[in-house]
Structure 1
Amino acid sequence: MNWFLLAFACILTAVISVSWWLMLKSRLRLPPGPMALPIVGHLHLLLKLPHQSFHKLSHKFGPIMTIKLGNKTAIVISSKKAAKEILTSYDRVFASRPVLISPQSLCYNSKNISCCKYGPYWREMRKICTTELFSSKRLSSFQNTRLEETQNLLQRVAEQLKVPINMKIELSTLTLNVITRMAIGKKFRHGEFSEDAEPLNVILEAVRLMGAVNLGDYIPFLKRLDPGGYIPRLKKTSKKIDCILQRLVDDHREEKVKSGDLVDVLQSVGIEDSAIKAVILDILAGGTDTTAVTTEWALSELLRNPECLRKVQQEIHVIVGDNRLVNENDLHHLHYLKAVVKETFRLHPAAPMMAPHESIEACTLKGYTIPAKTWLLINAWSMGRDPAQWDSPEEFMPERFINSSIDVKGCDFELIPFGAGRRMCVGMSLALCMVELTLARLVQAFHWALPDGSTMNMEERQGVIVARKHPLIAVANRRLPPEVYINTL
C-alpha cells in the first residue's frame, strides 16, 4: 500500500510539474530560435566557434535569438540596436553572471570581479580596482613601467633579427610583466616557481579552461560524470595558481615597507586572502591574454595589408621622426594607428561573445518575455560584421575610422569590444594604451615579414578569448639607427 501511494504521489507530482511548465511556457513569448535537440539543446554549436555559428543563425532568426544550452535558456544579441537597448534600459536587470564550474574552481568560488554575482561585493571590489589600479592618476604613474617593458620587448626582438619569432609568446610576456608590476609591485622572476608551474603558462592554461565547454554547466547530471575529463585539469591548474598567488599574498603581508600596490591596498582594508587571490588572478589573466591577442591580430592584419603597414610607419615618421621611439604622449596624434587598432577590435574582438550576463528578474524586451535567470550573450563579432553598419564589413579598412566619431569606450554600440554598462571591462584604458603603444613601437622599430615559404593563416582558435589558431611567426629587421634602440625613455 505504501509503495502504491508513493508511486501515485510521484506520478501526480510529475503531471502537475509538466502541466505547470507547459502553462508557463505558453505564457512566455521568447524570441525566435533554431530547433533544439533533446537534452543538449544547441550545445553542439559551442563546440565549434560559437560567435560564427550564432552569426549565421542570426541571418535567419534575427538579431534577438533564443538558444538552449542544455537546461539553460539564453538570448543572443547580434545588432547595435538590440545591444544598445538591453545594455541601457535593462543594464541592471542583466548585470549578474551565471554560476559556472571553472570560475568556482579557479577563482575561489567566483570571487573575481568578472564572474561574481551582481551585488555589494562586486561593487566594492570593482571600486577598489578602478581607484587603485585603473584610474587616470594611477595609470599615469605607471607610464615609465609601460615604456620600460615595451623597450625590453624591442630588445628581445633585436636579439632575434632575421630569425622567426613567436610573437604570441613575446606579446604575452610583455603584457604579463606590465600588469604584474602595476598590480603586485614586481615581475615574476625566472626560476621562482617550478618549471610546470611557470606563471605565464599557468595563467594561459587558466584562460583556456575558463573558455572551455564543460557539459556539467549545462546538463547537471553530467557534472559528476565529467565526460571530457575537465575537472582533473581544473583541480591541477587551481593548485598551481593557488601556490603562486598564496606566496604573493604572504610576501606582501610579511613586508614591513609597503609599496602601495593593489595587494597592499586590499590587505589594508581587510579583504580575505581568497578574495585577494581571485581579484589578482582576474587582473593577471584578463590583462595578459586579451591585450596580447589583440596586438597579435593587429600585427597580423598589417602584415596581410602592406599598404596599411606603410601608412602607419609613414605617420610615425612624420609625427615622431626616426631619432627616438614613440612614447605615450605621441599616441594622441597618431590617428591612422588608432584607426588600425579600432579596425582590429571590429574584426577581431578578443572576447567575441563577451562574458555571459544573467537576468536577475523577468523583463519585456521588444515585446518578448524574458524570464529571470536567462543568460544574455552579446555577439560583438557579429556586430562588427553587420552590413547595415559597415561598408565591406569583411575587409580590413582602417580608413573607415578616419574622421569618424565611433569609439570603443562603450557608447557606440556597433563597436563594444570591452562591453558596455555596469559590467564593462574595468581595464579598458590600460588595454587601449598597451595595444597602441606596443604596436606603434614594433612597426616603428622594425621591418616585418613572414618567414620564407609561409603564408598568413587567419583561422581562429576556440575559447572565450579567441586568439589565432596558429601563433603569429614573424621575422624582424631593423628600421631605425642603432642608438635609438637603447634610448629607453
Structure 2
Amino acid sequence: MEISQASVVMAYLLVVVLSTWLILHLLSYQARALSKDANGDDGRRIPSPPSLPVVGHLHLLKKPLHRSLAALAARYGGGRDGAGVLLLRFGARPVLFVSSPAVAEECFTVHDVALAGRPGLASRRMLTEDCPTIATADYGPRWRHLRRIATVHALCAHRLAATATARDAEARAMAGKLWRLCRDHHGSSAATVSVRSAAYEFVVNVIMSMVAGTRMPEDDVLRFKTMTEAGFAAAGAANRHDFLPAIRLLDFGRLKRRLAALAKERHDFGQRVVDEYRRRHHDDASPPATRTVIGDLLRQQERSPESYDDDVIRSVCLAGTDTSASTIEWAMALLLNNPDVLEKAATEIESVVGASRLLRESDLAGLPYLRRVIMETLRLYPLAPHLVPHEASRDCVIAGGHAVARGTMVLVDVYSMQRDPYTWEEPDEFRPERFEGGYGFMMPFGMGRRKCPGEGLALRTVGVALGFMLQCFKWEVVGKKEKVNMSEGSGLTMPMAVPLTVMCQPRANMESVLMTL
C-alpha cells in the first residue's frame, strides 16, 4: 500500500508533538522538585510568585530585565520589610533574586565560596568553552589561574602605573580624531559625534596597547564591538533557550548556529592577535622596550607550555571593553542633562590642568569632583544591573534561615539597591556632591572573590576619557533638545536604549593644543 507524502508529514509532526509533550511533562515534574529543594526542608520558605508549569516565571520577564525583576521583588518579596530575597524559576532552574544590601553582603562574605560558581548555561558553554574569560569561568583551578595571570600581568597597581602613558596616548588620539572631525565638518567648527563609538574605540585601543603594544584598525574595532555585543546578548540571565530544553532541541531562531559562528569568530579574532604579535617579534633576540601582556605570557609559555597555552592567552586578550564604554556614554548623557554639573567638572579640570597642555592620567588624583561624577554614574547605571549570575555550588542557609539549594542561580539587584530611597537622598537625581562624605551601599564591580579585578583599570580609563572630553570640547544635545533620552536597553551590561549622539565643538582656549595632535 502506497503511503502519501502528506501522511508522512502528519506522522512526523505527531511524533514531534508527542515527544515535546513528554519532555515538557518530565521537566514540569523536575521543576516542582527543584523548587521544593530550593526552599529546603529545614529552611524558611522563600517568597515566590505564582508560576506556570515548565516555563516557571519566564513568562513574567519583560525588557529591560533588571526593571522587570525589580518589579517582581517589590510585589512578591515583601518590600523593604520582607526578607530581601525572592525565589523564581527559569524553566526548571531555581533562581534566587537578592534585593537586600544586607543579604547581598552576607552572600559574598559568609557564603562567598558557596556562591562563587557560574551557571553552566548552554549558550555560555557554546560561546566560551574553548576560551573562558575570568568573568565566565566556573570557580576552580582554571579561574584562579586566569585571575592570577590577569592581575600579575595587567591589573596590579604596578602594571597600571607603568601603562598610564599608553592610556594618555590613546586619549590624545581620541581627542585628535574628534578635533579633525570638527575641523572637516563642512566648514563648521562643530560635528555630530556618536559618544559610544568614540568611547568604544578609545577603550579597545587602551586594552590593545596594554595587551599587544599596538592599535586596532577601525574596521577591526567595529568587528570587535559587534562580536562583543552579540556575546553579551547571548550570555544574558534569561535566555529562554538556556532554560527550556524543548526550544533548544528544536533550535528556534537557529541560535546554535549563530552561537557556533560567534564562538569561532571570537576564537579566530583572539588567535589572530596572538599570531600577529608572534610574527612581529619573531626575530627579536631581546624583549621589546615596552612590556606587553602577550609578550609576558609568551615568554611564560616557553617555560611552561601547559599552563600558558594559547587558550589562556586569548582569554586575557579578549577582556571586556563594553562596560567602560557604556559608563563613559552614561556619564556624558548625565552631564548633558545636568549642565551645571558639566560646567563644574570642566572648571575643575581647567583650574588644575589649565589650557596649555592636555590632561594626563596622573592629574586624576587632583580632580575629586570628576571622580565623584564617575561614582555617581556607576551608582545610577552600574556596569551590570544584577551582576554576572552566580551559582550555588553547595547548599547554604542565608538571611536568617532561608535555605538555598545547590545549583540555584543567584542574581543581585544592584540597580535597585543603589537607588534605595532609605539609603540615598533623592536617589534618582544625579548629584555627585553626595560623595563628598560617606555614602551608602554600592557594589557596581561586585563583591567577594568574584568581584571584577579590572576595577582599577576601569576607573582610570573612564576618568581619562571623560577628562579629555571635558577639557578639550564643548558638548550639546543634537537639535537643541532639552534632555537626553535616558531609557535603558536590555543586556548584561545595560546599554542606552537610544545611543547618545551629540554636537561636539573644540573649546577656543584649547585650539592651539589640539592643533598639535
Category of TM-score, reference length = shorter chain:
0.7 to 0.9
C-alpha separation between the residues in 2 aligned to 1:22 and 1:457? 40
Q: Which of residues 38, 42, 54 is equivalent to 1:39?
A: 54
State the partner residue of 2:435.
Answer: 401
Deviations 1:375-395 (A, max 9, x none): 110111011111111011111
> Residues 181, 30 of structure 1: CA spacing in aligned structure 2 closer, same or farther, 3 A cutoff?
farther
Is 1:158 the counterpart of 2:179? The answer is yes
The secondary structure found in structure 2 opposite 1:67 is: strand
Is 1:266 the counterpart of 2:303? The answer is no
Greater than 4 Å deviation, 4+ residue runs:
16-26
The secondary structure found in structure 1 opposite 2:373 is: helix
> Residues 335, 18 of structure 1: CA spacing in aligned structure 2 closer, same or farther, 3 A cutoff?
closer
Aligned amino acid, residue 332 of structure 1 = A
C-alpha separation between the residues in 2 aligned to 1:34 and 1:142? 50
Structure 2 residues not aligned, in runs of 5+: 1-25, 183-189
C-alpha separation between the residues in 2 aligned to 1:251 and 1:448? 38
Structure 1 residues not aligned, in runs of 5+: 1-12, 407-411
Is 1:51 the counterpart of 2:76? The answer is no
C-alpha separation between the residues in 1 aligned to 2:224 and 2:433? 39
8 Å CA contact 2:95, 2:408 repeated in 1: yes
8 Å CA contact 2:131, 2:311 repeated in 1: no
8 Å CA contact 2:31, 2:92 repeated in 1: no
Offset, 1:311 = 1.0
8 Å CA contact 1:350, 1:467 repeated in 2: no
> Residues 178, 252 of structure 1: CA spacing in aligned structure 2 closer, same or farther, 3 A cutoff?
same
State the partner residue of 2:203.
Answer: 175
**Backbone CA RMSD of aligned residues:** 2.5
How many percent of aligned residue pairs carry the same amino acid? 32
C-alpha separation between the residues in 1 aligned to 2:32 and 2:105? 37
8 Å CA contact 2:103, 2:398 repeated in 1: no
State the partner residue of 1:331.
Answer: 364
Q: Which of residues 481, 485, 489 is equivalent to 2:510?
A: 481
C-alpha separation between the residues in 2 aligned to 1:35 and 1:178? 48
**Equivalences for residues 211-360 of structure 1 within 5 A:** 211=236, 213-254=238-279, 255-256=281-282, 257=284, 258-259=287-288, 260-267=291-298, 268=301, 269-270=304-305, 271-281=308-318, 283=319, 286=320, 288-360=321-393
Q: TM-score, normalised by structure 1?
A: 0.88
The secondary structure found in structure 1 opposite 2:117 is: coil
Q: TM-score, normalised by structure 2?
A: 0.83
8 Å CA contact 2:109, 2:448 repeated in 1: yes
Q: Which of residues 72, 86, 104 is equivalent to 1:83?
A: 104
8 Å CA contact 1:42, 1:67 repeated in 2: yes
The secondary structure found in structure 2 opposite 1:221 is: helix
8 Å CA contact 2:31, 2:91 repeated in 1: no
Offset, 1:34 = 1.4
> Residues 224, 277 of structure 1: CA spacing in aligned structure 2 closer, same or farther, 3 A cutoff?
farther
Offset, 1:45 = 4.3
C-alpha separation between the residues in 2 aligned to 1:206 and 1:23? 33
Deviations 1:356-378 (A, max 9, x none): 11111101112111111111101
8 Å CA contact 2:487, 2:498 repeated in 1: yes
How many residue pairs get aligned? The number is 461
State the partner residue of 1:103.
Answer: 124
The secondary structure found in structure 2 opposite 1:447 is: strand
8 Å CA contact 2:324, 2:461 repeated in 1: yes
Is 1:436 the counterpart of 2:469? The answer is no
